[in-house]
Amino acid sequence: AQSVTQPDIHITVSEGASLELRCNYSYGATPYLFWYVQSPGQGLQLLLKYFSGDTLVQGIKGFEAEFKRSQSSFNLRKPSVHWSDAAEYFCATLRQAAGNKLTFGGGTRVLVKP
């Protein structure tokens, strides 16, 4: 069965500093991978996705993620964090089978210090 692990439950970063959120997946074939952001009281907004091709994926809000097959990772990065980036971030993988359901990681809550 596929699974997604986000090792960091909380990360605190200073405004203007860089951010990296870790995501590891367990899946036999090449997965479809996603990063979602959830601001307090809000829904899930897609930041970026990887299906195939270039392993460095650009997303919205200045985020990027890199797919590394050898490490089974899809880490999310942003060079300079803004206070509005404080939110919970979810990595997810999609299984191309009946239902095409997403499997989510446990999430990483990002706090931004002024």
Q: Which residues bind another protein (CB under 8 A)?
A: 34, 36, 42-46, 49, 51, 90, 92, 96, 98-107
- The closest alpha carbon to 76, from 85, 112, 52, belongs to 85
Q: Is the Cβ of residue 74 or residue 90 nearer to another protein in the bound state?
A: 90
Nearest-angstrom CA–CA distance, 46 and 92? 10
Shortest Å distance, C-beta 24 to another protein = 15
Q: In degrees rounded to 5, what are phi and psi of residue 85?
A: -80, -5
Shortest Å distance, C-beta 16 to another protein = 29
Shortest Å distance, C-beta 57 to another protein = 12
Strands 10-14 and 108-113 come out as: parallel
